Amino acid sequence: MEAETRVSRWYFGGLASCGAACCTHPLDLLKVHLQTQQEVKLRMMGMALRVVRSDGVLALYSGLSASLCRQMTYSLTRFAIYETVRDQVAQGSQGPLPFYKKVLLGSISGCIGGFVGTPADMVNVRMQNDVKLPANQRRNYAHALDGLYRVAREEGLKKLFSGASMASSRGVLVTVGQLSCYDQAKQLVLSTGYLSDSIVTHFVASFIAGGCATFLCQPLDVLKTRLMNSRGEYQGVIHCAMETAKLGPLAFYKGLLPAGIRLMPHTVLTFVFLEQLRKHFGIKVPS
């Protein structure tokens, strides 16, 4: 009897990312707050205490609906494209894809996913940043769909894709760091023969991928956050980069620690959830 394996369904990446986002959302919110400081005044713990003291513990989950909306657009798209194409190509070839093809596929998937997820991403950043603004300056979106509707109505449809080029560029880097590096790391770990295709292997490979993704995308992440949260003070990506550079080269890595603390657990949880979904609910194919 021919052995069978399971491959992911196209929407598993979105579901896994949503599960991870529910766990790491407070860290994502603190990262946005740290990146939008004009001067370095507070560190991560100080920012967390200020948010809790001023608005309560639930403020750490401000903008969760937008975060989930972002995962179901951005992450679902990039995972769907990457895994579907990878599995189709792998079926017609001997052995796994070479790393350069994984990088190319990750780049294309991330670029498309970043563009598709831009509106939800912008609303996500705004909702997270709202709690640190004075009451009279808050946008007070009720939820993600309300934010999307109000931006389109008050600022125009074009504004929904403000920072799309930056989001797409970041999508390329983070997808190469996460998906391509995860696949390669998992392949290398399994090739040693010391570990099987188990949760330990998934943890090790996803930890490596999270580190790669954090390092690659942090400078663009800082610029993207500033652009999306701006009120017209930046004329474009280059102007934003120049203004950020005035704060010193380390400004591009502002919030690196919380970004790593958030992105690495998010990456680990995403792939652990994804692998469990694949194992229990994936499509059976001949191995």
Q: Tens digit of pLDDT for each residue in 71-107?
A: 999 999 999 999 999 988 877 777 788 999 999 999 9
Q: Tell me the per-residue pLDDT of 43-55, one tens digit each, with 9 for 90 and over.
A: 778 888 888 888 7
Q: The whole model's pTM is what?
A: 0.82
CB 50 within 8 A of CB 264: no
CB under 8 Å to 119, separation ≥6 — which residues?
Answer: 73, 148, 151, 160, 161
Q: Tell me the per-residue pLDDT of 159-214, one tens digit each, with 9 for 90 and over.
A: 899 878 878 988 999 999 999 999 999 999 999 989 888 999 999 999 999 999 98
CA separation, residue 4 to residues 57, 91, 196, 282 (Å): 47, 13, 16, 11
Of 3.40.50.970, 2.60.40.420, 1.50.40.10, 3.40.50.720, which CATH number belongs to 4-286? 1.50.40.10
